[in-house]
Structure formats: C-alpha cells, structure tokens
Amino acid sequence: MDVAVLGLGEMGGTHVGAMRASPHVGAIYGYEPDAARAAARGKELGVQATNDLAALLRNPAIKLVSIASINAVHAAQAIEALRAGKAVMCEKPMAESLADARRMVEAQRETGGFLQIGFELRYSRIYTLAKEWIDRGLIGTVVNSHCRYYCSEFHSKNTWRSNSPGTLIGEKLSHYIDLQRWFTGSEVEDVFSMHAPNVVPYFNHPDNHQINMRFTCGAIADLNFSMYVAESDHRDPLLEMLEKQADDGHCLQYHIFGTKGAIETDVFRRRIRRWAFTDSPERLVSKLAETVRYTPADDNAWIHNTHGQNLRIIELVAKGLPPETPASDSFETMKAGFAAEVSERERRIVRMSELATA
Ligand SMILES: NC(=O)c1ccc[n+]([C@@H]2O[C@H](COP(=O)([O-])OP(=O)(O)OC[C@H]3O[C@@H](n4cnc5c(N)ncnc54)[C@H](O)[C@@H]3O)[C@@H](O)[C@H]2O)c1
C-alpha cells in the first residue's frame, strides 16, 4: 500500500523511516503546509512531499496516513483522513482539548476506520516486560505505582512546544499516565494535581506537575515531573547519552507495588528489577528476584520504540487487523490528563465522571 506522513519534522522523519523499512509499503508521500518546507524536507527524507493535503487524501492508493504534525492540528487531520477512508496512526497527544479527542473517537466509530494513537511505550521492552510480569501474577495485584521523571529543558525558547498554552501533561506525561493505566488494569476514578511556580520563565505552561490518581479498583498512582533539574543537554535525554545522564539529575523511574511483589523500571540505569514478597513467622519478607539489563545499542527498542510501534501499525493496517490499542482506550488516558489540568486550575479533586465520556 502507499502511505502518507503529515508533518515532516523530527518525528515525521522517524515515521518515514519505519515506512521505508516495512515490506508492506510502496510509495511514501509527505505533507507540510508550507510549500518550500515541503519541498526541502521531502528532498531530505526522500519522499514525494506536497502542501496539498486534500489531493493526498483523494489519492486512492494511499491507505495509511501517519500524523506527526504539531499537536494543534492532530484532531482535525485525523478526522479528515478517517472521513477520506484512510487508516490513521496519530501521534500523542490525541488533541489539545477533550472535546476534540472525543470527536476523533466519534469519527472512528462513524467511519469504522482504523485509528491508533502513538503511545509507543506500550511497545518499548522495559515496559512490556513489566506488563508481562504483572500479567503473569508475579507481583500479585497492583496497588500502587509511582513515576518520577526529571530531565533538562530540551524544548527551547520560541518553539511550538514552549509557546504552547497546552500543558506538558498532554505533550509528555500522557505517555506515563497511559502506562499507569495499563499496569494497573483499571480505570482512573479521580485525579488531584498540583504544580509549583515555574523555574523556566519562557514556557507558556507549567514546567512541573505532581499528579495523583485513584483507580476504581482502589489502587493509586502518582506522577512527579520537572523539566529543569538535570544537566542541560540539547538532545532528547531519552535517546542519547544515558550513561552520562544516569547521575547528572536525569531520572525516569517507575516503582510498581503489588500484593506479592514489586517492579522498578529505571531508564537511566538501563535496568528493570523485580522483588517477590513472602510470608514468615516474623514479617513480610521481600527478596530481589530478578534484574534485567540492556545495552546502549538496544536503547530504542527498550525505552523509545516508536520504530517498532510504527512497523507493527503498518502491518496491522496492511493485514486488515484492528488497532492493538483502540482509540477509546487512549481517550481515557487523555481524559485523565485533562482531569489533572482541571484539578490544577480549580485546586480540587476532579472525578472522571464529571468529564465527557467517549
Ligand atoms: N511518541 C513519542 O515519543 C513522540 C516523540 C516526539 C514527538 N512526538 C509527537 O510528534 C509530533 C511532532 O513532533 P516533532 O518532535 O516531530 O516536532 P517538530 O517540530 O520537529 O515537527 C513538527 C512538524 O510539523 C509541521 N507542521 C506545522 N504545522 C503543520 C500542519 N498544519 N500540518 C502538518 N504539519 C505541520 C512543522 O513544519 C514541522 O515540520 C508531536 O505531536 C509530538 O508530540 C511523539
């Protein structure tokens, strides 16, 4: 099948790379709204790029549209592509408002089309291994999970990211909320979130968040994020220099506690560990049961597997299979993020039942 990538920036280049590597793909087309940029990026990436989106969507040979454009246009482009009969892979965040995310799910239902959101951490080995351990019952029932994510400012002044009034909850933390839902296997019931005054003065949104969630099963989760403590590095800290960054202020860890054990994922130490709990006459006994490490060559597959995710989505579409994560599931992740924003604005616990359903 022929395919198209909308938005030929950094992530657009990654999407083109997966399409080129897929045995299911013929011609690759690209779209950028500015004609000169379309021509320049098309040449750099070796794709036929245009600034005429309507013409791309009219092309019957294009079966899959991959959206890697700026967040503000995700919803409109996904809906237009679904209505044109295309399968759609759309980068996170789904949209900048809950109403727009809901419109995407509605368009998917109306058209019966394929829509999967780019929550690539569900394809990244460090997290799929944690999920396998949970599903095998190795830590019992998940009751509590903590995510700590500290990094440097790598969004830069005067970019769409730092200028956006939309918070980093959608742009970055939706990945980590999504994992907490996935690990817990339950739906978020209520959310309380706070942020401190900014350290980064030129961000048009908070640079830190502390999000607390309670799930319907009784489990709780928290997510603690700040974007300034780590030593400055102008590349994505998830992709480069992990060894250097392991002890310079960067931190990306989950601690997942269950009734029979616990799991720790540690991106900057390239390690995942599991503890097993047993009873004894005196106390609950905990034993470190398993440690799995990976090498720098495997970083992308273990912590940032956009490539593997995209290859899989292309395969699903080519074989006429449904998305592995339905858009309605990703909507629940987005909804928890929007609930956190409401909580921060209104300084109160927000019940998920107050917000729209998909
Ligand atoms: N899944 C992940 O881990 C991950 C990582 C990075 C980025 N992303 C997502 O990918 C998307 C792109 O991020 P990026 O890092 O490539 O940003 P980028 O700034 O490098 O690229 C964005 C591109 O979109 C283009 N653009 C602007 N308006 C557009 C429009 N109306 N239609 C189509 N293209 C338009 C810009 O010209 C630019 O080329 C964002 O939604 C981001 O959240 C996801």
Q: Could you tell me if 175 and 289 lie in one domain?
A: yes
Distance CA 52, CA 40 (A): 15
Protein residue closest via CA to atom 10 of ligand 1: 68
More confident residue, 290 or 235: 290
Is the CB of 206 within 6 Å of ligand 1? no
User: What amino acid occupies position 124?
Assistant: S
Distance CA 267, CA 287 (A): 22
Q: Tell me, what DSSP letter sits at residue 304?
A: -
Q: Please answer whether residues 216 and 209 qualify as being in contact, where contact means their C-beta atoms are separated by less than 8 angstroms.
A: no
Q: What is the mean pLDDT of the chain?
A: 95
Q: Could you tell me if 111 and 126 lie in one domain?
A: no
pLDDT band at residue 241, thresholds of 50, 70 and 90?
Answer: low
H-assigned helices in the chain: 10-21, 35-45, 53-58, 74-83, 98-111, 125-135, 160-163, 168, 174-184, 242-245, 299-303, 306-318, 327-346
More confident residue, 144 or 233: 144
pLDDT at residue 172, as a whole number:
96
Q: pLDDT tens, 54-87?
A: 999 999 999 999 999 999 999 999 999 999 999 9
Distance CA 319, CA 132 (A): 26
Distance CA 240, CA 299 (A): 9
Domain extent, residue 238, equals 121-302+335-346
Q: Could you tell me if 138 and 195 lie in one domain?
A: yes
Q: Could you tell me if 104 and 52 lie in one domain?
A: yes
Q: pTM for this one? A: 0.95
Average pLDDT of span 147-175: 95
Report which of 78, 76, 6 is spatially closest to residue 42, judged by C-alpha positions.
6
**What DSSP line would sit under 115-182, residue for residue?**
EEE--GGGGSHHHHHHHHHHHTTTT-SEEEEEEEEE----S-TTSHHHH-SS-HIIIIIHHHHHHHHH
In total, how many domains does the chain have?
2
How close is the Cα of 68 to the center of ligand 1, in Å? 5
CB atoms within 10 A of CB 62: 22
Please identify, by atom number, the ligand 1 atom nearest to the C-alpha of residue 77.
32
**For residue 354, is it within any domain?**
no
pLDDT band at residue 233, thresholds of 50, 70 and 90?
Answer: low
Q: pLDDT tens, 191-211?
A: 999 999 999 999 999 999 999
Q: Could you tell me if 88 and 230 lie in one domain?
A: no
Q: Could you tell me if 280 and 314 lie in one domain?
A: no
**For residue 32, is it within any domain?**
yes
Average pLDDT of span 133-146: 98
Q: Could you tell me if 105 and 136 lie in one domain?
A: no
pLDDT at 242 over 80: no
Is the CB of 30 within 6 Å of ligand 1? no
**For residue 356, is it within any domain?**
no
Give me the CATH number covering residue 212.
Answer: 3.30.360.10
**For residue 329, is it within any domain?**
no
pLDDT at residue 239, as a whole number:
55
pLDDT at residue 317, as a whole number:
98
Q: Could you tell me if 214 and 288 lie in one domain?
A: yes
CA 238 to chain centre: 13
Q: Could you tell me if 160 and 231 lie in one domain?
A: yes
Is the CB of 120 within 6 Å of ligand 1? yes
Strand partners, 190: 214, 351
